[in-house]
Amino acid sequence: MYPDLVGKIAVVTGASKGIGREIAIRFGLERMKVVINYNHGADEVKSVVEEIQNAGGEAIAVQADVAEEADVIRLIDTAIKNFGGLDVLVNNAGIQTTSPSHELTLDEWHKVMNVNLTGAFIGCREALKYMMKFGVKGSIINMSSVHQKIPKPFHVHYASSKGGLRLLTESLALEYAPHGIRINTIAPGAIATPMNEQILSDPMQRKDVLSLIPMNEIGEAHHVSSAAAWLSSNEASYITGITLFIDGGMTLYPTFL
């Protein structure tokens, strides 16, 4: 636990399930005030809010599509109006689809880019606007993927969005470091969430995934949420512009083993 996080105000996007849900709950346990964003799934998000409130934390849920500029502006405003500020933003919302690249439609390309990259940019911009105006030395975390580094055939739009997120993070980190605002990337490997439930529940495909992980273990959402809490805390106060891979060694060229 990180005592300096108590009372801090956080927005987590795409927090109705998976990694975002786990981060929101961890922030709640840290006694932060959490704005939980969701696009669809009001019932799922209700249980996240309740879990935080039952643990003595404060949380509100806000429906917003991160691909829509007006929605993201309203999301950040909600934190400021309801909780009185903004200290931490986690741009976690993300989607991926599969297609041979020569058949990928522009609609599909834009859909993934708009959520994974443009959505994160709008979130960063709005958070930075507030942090700059009020001199908040905040922390922003962008949820990337090992596919910011490892090419991903049939997912060119997903890999491009995550590669873009790395340089978005690094460029903003450099620009805002003089103001004490830290911006970092977390890049998970294979984490068991609804996003890859289908693949991981098939024994053959699970075996294939495991063969890419030197630690021979599928990651859990709590592996990512503990990193998000640490990166948000003063324990990481001198860290900006990094990518923290949470991947059981997946980016270490496992075939060389």
Binding map of ligand NAD across residues 93-132, x = CB under 6 A, - = no contact: xxx-------------------x-----------------
Question: Catalytic amino acids?
Answer: 158
Binding map of ligand NAD across residues 171-200, x = CB under 6 A, - = no contact: -----------------x-xx-xxxx----
10 DSSP β-pair partners: 34, 88
Residues 44-103 that bind ligand NAD (CB under 6 A): 65-67, 92-95
Q: Binding of ligand NAD at residue 248 (CB under 6 A)? A: no
Q: Binding of ligand NAD at residue 141 (CB under 6 A)? A: no
Edge-to-edge order in the sheet of strand 139-143: 58-63, 33-38, 9-12, 88-91, 139-143, 182-188, 243-246
Helical H segments across 30-93, by residue range: 42-54, 69-83
Q: Binding of ligand NAD at residue 14 (CB under 6 A)? A: yes
Residue type, 238: Y
User: Measured from the CB atom, is 4 or 197 closer to ligand NAD?
Assistant: 197
SS3 121: helix
Q: Binding of ligand NAD at residue 17 (CB under 6 A)? A: yes
Integer-rounded Cα Rg, in Å, for the chain is 17
Q: How many CA atoms lie within 13 A of 102 on its CB side?
A: 0
Q: Binding of ligand NAD at residue 20 (CB under 6 A)? A: yes
Nearest to 113 by CA among 163, 183, 62, 175: 163
Least Å from the CB of residue 69 to ligand NAD: 12
Task: Enumerate binding residues for ligand NAD (CB under 6 A).
Answer: 13-14, 16-20, 37-41, 65-67, 92-95, 115, 143, 145, 188, 190-191, 193-196
